[in-house]
Chains A and B, each alone.
Chain A
Amino acid sequence: MKGLLANRERRFNVLVTLALVLLSVFFLLPLYWTAVFATRTLSEVFQFPPPFWFGGNVVQNYLNIANVYPPFRPVWNSLAVAVPKTIGLVLVSALAGYGFARYARAPGHKFLLVMAFATLFFPPSLALIPFFLQMSWLGWLNTFWPLIVPTLASGFGVIWMYTYIGTTIPRELYEAAEMDGAKGFATFFFIVLPIIRPGLAALSVWTLISTWNDYQLPLVVLGEGTRFTVPLALTMLSETHYSDMPAVMLATLIGLVPVFILFAFLSRQFIAGLTSGTVK
């Protein structure tokens, strides 16, 4: 009986593993193919069937990118936007979420919370023109400021942290902290922050990736090629009627490296955040 059970369990495990392997192949294949194309020539990419193994044109493709812009400059630009924005957004969201979660009886609590919620219902492109004029008035066009400062106030971030803190931190903890003489900010930094680390990591990853991929806002704000972030720089490799596909693929890979490193750094916390959210 016991052996049969173990056998069935093992069979189930094998099946699950197999399904997961297939699923990861499904997601990794495009990435692999990107890497293959990045090492090929333009005419090889157009062949049918397309090449499945690496070629020898990677140096030339790199030079083709370097001919248009320094290949790593957009990566630095993207980092200069994404890192301060991520840190700031997470901090602001956590503080606001903490305020909403802890001081539920404060005057205006409900109104402010509803307002934060309401911002989620407006597509960001709706305010694009007024935003542009505002930034123009501030003299911030063609700088990174418009991509960082106004975006720190994120309705999604606040609601996420409010929900996360509300379900993770029992009220008794605040009371205990108060008994020990900790005021609001001290409680936040010394008690709340360490506990909500997984939630912070999840929000960081989400912010980082969406900032990294953002195209429209930087396109509107940045008027100078030397400040282009990764997605914008990629478009410089394409002409109206044709793209240097291998160069685009290689530049895409270069632009992915920092995201991979940062994700690996945060992923342990991120996974904990996904699974441990509501239990405590």
Chain B
Amino acid sequence: MTSWMKASAAAFAIGFGAMLSPPAEAQNAPDTQISGTISVWTWPNNDRTFAALLPTFNKAYPNIKVEVQGFPAAKMAYLNNLQRGMLGGSGPDVAMMEINMMALLRDRPQWEDLRQAPYNAGEFISNFAPFTVANVTLPDGKIVALPKHTGPGGLFYRRDIFKEAGLPTDPEEVTKLLSDWNAFIDVGKKVAKPNERWMLANGEEIVRAMMAQKGVSNFDAEGNLQFDNPVFHDALEIVKKAADAGLISPFVAWSPEWQGAFGKGQIATVMYGNWFGGLLKRAYATADAGKWGVALAPASEGGSRSFNSGGDYIGILKTSKNKEAAWAFVKWLVTDGESLKQQYQSDDLYPAFTPAGSSDWINYRDPYYDGQNVNEIFAPVQAQLIPSTLNQLDSAATLALQTAIDNVVKGVATVDEALAQAKAEVKAKM
């Protein structure tokens, strides 16, 4: 190697390393000359996100052809197809897992162990948000997937509605104003108008946030149902108070009328992961740029204001015939700066890869939020999250809890009755 080649190679490595990923990354980056075709299974809209990323990916890996296939996540179609694919050995090379599918999928022996060579994911796994690492690591240390993105939660609020009610609109002041859940209800009373406008779309948001803030999941690590934990009782009491004060809309979460309510200015605040902003921008409230802001969710007793909502993971199947190329894609997807930037800026997918959190492309003044840098809210939330415990019966527990919330909101059951019923419902399935 001539000296200039060495020099330019070094400059290249330093330049690229600094630009795209931390030095630890560059060391075991796969060879960019790998070739072959790999299939990747995911669900809409992720399939389109991937399709949009491929030209950028192919600049780094020109000889890898990626075939993306989306299956609907609804009615578990994706989950069932992947399980069948694993069973029949006809699955893809690379597959995604949504956080709610993790408990059902991650123990399957068909996942490649990414801890082993040539992947050596153990060397850099600590660069991902700790709770996501917990989710992909099995008790025996096997790493089944890499964390792709998370859903650090915040409270999205309508600045114009707050202003109209004579309330502060600056994110910091709103965070201060909504210091705890009782303050949330007091503010809600100033904002809500009967049959016209509500503080919150669904009581479920309160319960989920309070559970996460207290670090309580549906089940504990041993699989015991946690509905007796005081947090469920407390959360439902808050929901009841809010409902009695007329703060909760009658719309069913994710229904068309619920989706429409955001664009019509009928909902003053909403608590979900950062990705909810993407839905507001691109689907529910496209005409409302500048009207929304993001604050921290009210704090539970103990002071935590962090919660997570959603997120997904991506792994390689043992049946893959081109694991090298599959790994190149997976690793690039979840660690490369260009990849993460594009996913964040066009689809509001928050990177699980923590070094990305300090990048310029994530810390910018977003006109949709009236120039607010919302990462100032989401980055600390991600850092302070308490890992939750995933269980195979989570969907049954969530459904039972939703029924309990609805019954409390409608006033057809007391908090104790609703919880007892939910407990019985889940126990019947255990």
Number of interface residues of B (CB under 8 A): 34
- B88 at interface (Cβ–Cβ under 8 A)? yes
Contacts of B367 in A (CB 8 A): none
Contact A136 B88 (CB under 8 A): yes
Q: A236-B44, A238-B44, A240-B73 are in contact. Are A245 and B256 (CB under 8 A)?
A: yes
Query: C-beta contact mask, B66-91 vs A, less than 8 Å → 1, else 0?
Result: 01011111100100110011011110
Complex partner residue of B89 from A129, A136, A236, CB under 8 angstroms? A136
For the complex, give the distance between the alpha carbons of A239 and B45 in Å: 5
- Give the segment of A41-49, A84-92, A176-184, A270-278 that binds chain B: A41-49
Could you say which of B71, B80, B257 has the most chain A C-beta atoms within 10 Å of its C-beta? Answer: B71
Interface residues of B in 312-330 (CB under 8 A from A): none
Contact A141 B74 (CB under 8 A): no
Query: C-beta contact mask, A206-241 vs B, less than 8 Å → 1, else 0?
Result: 000000000000011001110000000001111111
- A160 at interface (Cβ–Cβ under 8 A)? no
Complex partner residue of B87 from A68, A133, A224, A241, CB under 8 angstroms? A133
Number of interface residues of A (CB under 8 A): 27
Query: C-beta contact mask, A31-46 vs B, less than 8 Å → 1, else 0?
Result: 0000000000011011
- A242 at interface (Cβ–Cβ under 8 A)? yes
Contact A219 B77 (CB under 8 A): yes
Q: A219-B77, A220-B81 are in contact. Are A241 and B88 (CB under 8 A)?
A: no
Interface residues of A in 126-142 (CB under 8 A from B): 129, 132-133, 136, 141-142
Q: A43-B286, A46-B259, A219-B81 are in contact. Are A236 and B70 (CB under 8 A)?
A: yes
Contacts of B88 in A (CB 8 A): 132-133, 136, 141
Contacts of A242 in B (CB 8 A): 259, 279, 283-284
For the complex, give the distance between the alpha carbons of A223 and B70 in Å: 9
For the complex, give the distance between the alpha carbons of A245 and B283 in Å: 11
Contact A223 B279 (CB under 8 A): no
Contacts of B80 in A (CB 8 A): 220
Contact A240 B43 (CB under 8 A): yes
Q: A238-B74, A240-B74 are in contact. Are A132 and B84 (CB under 8 A)?
A: yes
Interface residues of B in 242-261 (CB under 8 A from A): 254, 256-257, 259-260
For the complex, give the distance between the alpha carbons of A142 and B254 in Å: 32
- B48 at interface (Cβ–Cβ under 8 A)? yes
- B287 at interface (Cβ–Cβ under 8 A)? yes
Smallest beta-carbon distance B255→chain A, Å: 11
Q: A219-B81, A223-B85, A235-B72 are in contact. Are A241 and B254 (CB under 8 A)?
A: yes
For the complex, give the distance between the alpha carbons of A237 and B48 in Å: 11
Contact B90 A46 (CB under 8 A): no
Contacts of A225 in B (CB 8 A): 69-70
Contacts of A136 in B (CB 8 A): 88-90
- B263 at interface (Cβ–Cβ under 8 A)? yes
For the complex, give the distance between the alpha carbons of A128 and B67 in Å: 26
Query: C-beta contact mask, A101-134 vs B, less than 8 Å → 1, else 0?
Result: 0000000000000000000000000000100110
For the complex, give the distance between the alpha carbons of A132 and B86 in Å: 12
Contacts of B286 in A (CB 8 A): 43
Could you say which of A68, A133, A237, A239 has the most chain B C-beta atoms within 10 Å of its C-beta? Answer: A239
Contacts of A48 in B (CB 8 A): 257, 260
For the complex, give the distance between the alpha carbons of A193 and B123 in Å: 73
Residue of A nearest to B70 (CB): A236
Smallest beta-carbon distance B171→chain A, Å: 24
For the complex, give the distance between the alpha carbons of A42 and B282 in Å: 11
Complex partner residue of B74 from A220, A223, A235, A245, CB under 8 angstroms? A235
Contacts of B87 in A (CB 8 A): 129, 132-133
For the complex, give the distance between the alpha carbons of A224 and B256 in Å: 29
Smallest beta-carbon distance A222→chain B, Å: 10
Contact B72 A46 (CB under 8 A): no
Contacts of B71 in A (CB 8 A): 219, 235
For the complex, give the distance between the alpha carbons of A242 and B88 in Å: 32
Query: C-beta contact mask, B272-296 vs A, less than 8 Å → 1, else 0?
Result: 0000000100011011000000000
Smallest beta-carbon distance B408→chain A, Å: 25
Q: A223-B90, A240-B74 are in contact. Are A46 and B45 (CB under 8 A)?
A: no
Contacts of B287 in A (CB 8 A): 43
Contacts of A219 in B (CB 8 A): 71, 77, 81
For the complex, give the distance between the alpha carbons of A237 and B87 in Å: 28
Contacts of A220 in B (CB 8 A): 80-81, 84
For the complex, give the distance between the alpha carbons of A219 and B43 in Å: 13
Query: C-beta contact mask, A44-74 vs B, less than 8 Å → 1, else 0?
Result: 0111100000000000000000001000000
Residue of A nearest to B89 (CB): A136
Contacts of B81 in A (CB 8 A): 219-220, 223
For the complex, give the distance between the alpha carbons of A109 and B395 in Å: 50
Q: A132-B84, A141-B90 are in contact. Are A240 and B259 (CB under 8 A)?
A: no
Smallest beta-carbon distance B110→chain A, Å: 14
Contacts of B67 in A (CB 8 A): 224
Contacts of B43 in A (CB 8 A): 240
Contacts of A42 in B (CB 8 A): 283
Query: C-beta contact mask, A242-270 vs B, less than 8 Å → 1, else 0?
Result: 10010000000000000000000000000
For the complex, give the distance between the alpha carbons of A72 and B346 in Å: 28
For the complex, give the distance between the alpha carbons of A132 and B88 in Å: 8
For the complex, give the distance between the alpha carbons of A141 and B69 in Å: 15
For the complex, give the distance between the alpha carbons of A37 and B402 in Å: 31
Interface, chain A (partner B; CB < 8 A): 42-43, 45-48, 68, 129, 132-133, 136, 141-142, 219-220, 223-225, 235-242, 245
Query: Would you mind naming 25 contact pairs between A and B with Cβ atoms under 8 Å apart?
Result: A43-B260, A46-B260, A48-B257, A132-B88, A133-B88, A136-B89, A219-B71, A219-B77, A219-B81, A220-B81, A220-B84, A223-B85, A223-B92, A224-B67, A225-B70, A235-B72, A235-B77, A237-B44, A238-B74, A239-B45, A240-B43, A240-B45, A241-B279, A241-B283, A242-B284
Question: Apart from A235-B44, A236-B44, A236-B47, what are 9 other A-B pairs with CB-CB below 8 Å?
Answer: A46-B263, A47-B260, A68-B48, A223-B90, A225-B70, A235-B77, A236-B70, A239-B45, A242-B284
Top 8 A-B pairs, shortest CB-CB distance: A46-B260, A235-B72, A136-B88, A239-B45, A242-B283, A240-B73, A239-B44, A141-B90
